[in-house]
Chain A
């Protein structure tokens, strides 16, 4: 579904991605795990057609980037780390505006919005202003927004950052439902070990713009001889997942976390 081969991305003199390669299979829930500044967001932003790679091959559903970006946008849904819903509108209105922007006709629009409100269990809250929602409900609304045009692939950048444990689990439940019930291919980034272990069938551990290893969480633990994924990460990279990242990345994450609380 997604094929990435020797992907390189430079921002000026900074090498954000240093020749990464991985595949995401159809219907798979794949995770990019790494500390802040590892290159996870850059990878997702390239796949979501928001930035152009410096070098390397990116193929989504058989179409190559960047020349087929407009076609690829039709079958990917993207939930960015920063908030994409409008707090001064209701949940229903947010979905309505997104539905109009992705070009759904009037008949499909109402049906699809109501079905997604049910799927995300937003119920009566859909008529309330989003600024009154809990962090978990905001994230579920944003996932619903990304699903309006029926994408086969869902990309999520740190979907549970800043959420309390209960909200985090409710988002996990939604993602697992989408994958198991609707066979949606999901690629997410995270720096939470327990999230990667609980959700992802396979993970790629990233550090300093490179992929250190790819496999199922169990395979990675076994391969390193560690007791947990967290220890396996330390064995593979030489540091814990909490280290790394620069001031701007930390500020961005904290800003998102503050707005979700």
Chain B
């Protein structure tokens, strides 16, 4: 007989069987798994919060360096909109897209 710690999970085994059966259980498991992976990322950030800073460096540099430069030289016509305002939505979208791609790949590896 398998005894001790490896026999203490009757409820959880039933839970797993349940997961395999109905569609609603599968959806529930998908949501739980997604939340768990989110929790894993949050815990990583808690141990190393400097990552937040390093991720923010690139968009800030884009805004400061290119934003300031193009504002001064007026190389691109913006239709009267300040160049920083013209550029910010694009820079933010780019950052979100890139970080999503990198995170997506990391999640696949996980």
Q: Does B68 contact A (CB under 8 A)?
A: no
Size bracket of the B interface: 20 to 34
Would you give the shortest CB distance from A2 to chain B, in whole angstroms?
Answer: 17
Let me know if B23 is at the binding interface, CB within 8 A. Answer: no
What is the count of residue pairs linking A and B with beta-carbon distances less than 8 angstroms? 78
Residues of A contacting B19 with CB < 8 Å? 103
Q: Which residue from B3, B6, B17, B39 sits with its C-beta under 8 Å from A147? A: B6
Q: How far is the CA of A108 from the CA of B10 in the complex (A)?
A: 9
Interface centre among B7, B9, B33, B39 (most CB of A within 10 A): B9
Q: B40 on the interface (CB 8 Å rule)? A: yes
> Is A104 a contact of B12 with CB atoms below 8 Å?
yes
A52, B13: Cα distance in complex, Å = 25
Q: Is the interface of A mostly helix, strand, loop or mixed?
A: helix
Question: 1/0 per residue A86-128: CB within 8 Å of B?
Answer: 1011100100010011111101100110011001000000000
Complex alpha-carbon distance, A244 and B7, angstroms: 42
Residue of chain B at shortest CB distance from A114: B5
B16 at the A interface (CB under 8 A): yes
Q: Is A248 an interface residue (CB 8 A)?
A: no
Q: Give A84's nearest chain B residue, CB to CB.
A: B110
Instruction: State in angstroms the CA–CA spacing of A181 and B7 once bound together.
Output: 12
User: Given A89-B43, A97-B40, does the pair A119, B48 have CB atoms closer than 8 Å?
Assistant: no
For residues 13 through 37 of chain B, which have their beta carbon under 8 Å from a beta carbon of chain A? 13, 15-17, 19-20, 29, 32-33, 36
Q: Is the pair A86, B12 in contact by a Cβ cutoff of 8 Å?
A: no
* Identity of the chain A residue whose Cβ is nearest the Cβ of B33 in the assembled complex: A101
CB pair A88 B47 closer than 8 Å: yes
Q: Are B36 and A101 in contact (CB under 8 A)?
A: yes
Interface residues of A in 32-83 (CB under 8 A from B): 70-71, 74
Whether A74 contacts B17 in the complex (CB less than 8 A), given A89-B40, A100-B32, comes out as yes
Decide yes or no whether A129 CB sits under 8 A from chain B: yes
Please name the residue on chain A nearest to B110 by beta carbon: A86
Task: Please indicate the chain A residues that have their CB under 8 angstroms from the CB of B43 in the complex.
Answer: 89, 93, 97
Q: Is B4 a contact of A181 with CB atoms below 8 Å?
A: yes
Q: Determine whether the beta carbon of A129 is less than 8 Å from that of B47.
A: yes
From known contacts A129-B47, A182-B2, infer whether A103 and B15 are also in contact, taking CB-CB under 8 Å. yes
Per the bound structure, the CA–CA distance linking A108 and B15 in Å amounts to 11
Q: Give chain A residues whose Cβ lies under 8 Å from the Cβ of B3.
A: 182
| Min distance, Cβ B76 to any Cβ of chain A, angstroms | 41
Nearest-neighbour CB distance to chain A for B57, whole angstroms, equals 19
| 19 more CB-based (< 8 A) A-B contacts, given A108-B11, A152-B2 | A70-B20, A71-B20, A74-B20, A86-B40, A86-B110, A89-B47, A100-B33, A101-B33, A101-B36, A103-B15, A103-B19, A104-B15, A105-B12, A116-B5, A119-B5, A149-B13, A149-B16, A181-B4, A184-B6
Can you name 14 A-B pairs with beta carbons within 8 Å? Answer: A74-B20, A86-B110, A88-B47, A88-B48, A97-B40, A100-B32, A103-B12, A104-B12, A104-B15, A105-B15, A107-B11, A147-B6, A182-B2, A182-B4
Which residues of A come within 8 Å of B, CB atoms? 70-71, 74, 86, 88-90, 93, 97, 100-105, 107-108, 111-112, 115-116, 119, 129, 147, 149-150, 152, 181-184
